[in-house]
Amino acid sequence: MNEQIEGDNGQAEDFQSFDLELLWECTQCGYSVHRKDGLPETCPSCNASKTEFTLHKED
């Protein structure tokens, strides 16, 4: 998807944006969720707050 942003010189510039899916993991129960558009308000598995999710890093 191409979008325009204002560059350092004040002119609009095109750039390629990427739709990334991030893998988040609930620290309370270990439930994993792939999301592009933010986290659910609560964990679907244990009902923990979205603040209990951490970004999962692959080894």
Q: What is the CATH number of the domain that holds 36?
A: 2.20.28.10
- Lowest mean pLDDT of 6-10, 32-36, 55-59, name the range: 6-10
Residue 7 lies in a domain: no
Number of separate domains in the chain: 1
Residue 45 lies in a domain: yes
The predicted model scores a pTM of: 0.59
Residue 26 lies in a domain: yes
Rounded distance, CA 58 to CA 45, Å?
Answer: 22
pLDDT digits (tens, 9 = 90+) for 17-49: 556 678 899 999 999 888 777 788 999 999 999
pLDDT of residue 29: 96
- Lowest mean pLDDT of 2-6, 26-30, 53-57, name the range: 2-6
pLDDT of residue 33: 86
DSSP state of 49: B
Domain containing residue 35: 19-59
Rounded distance, CA 58 to CA 25, Å?
Answer: 12
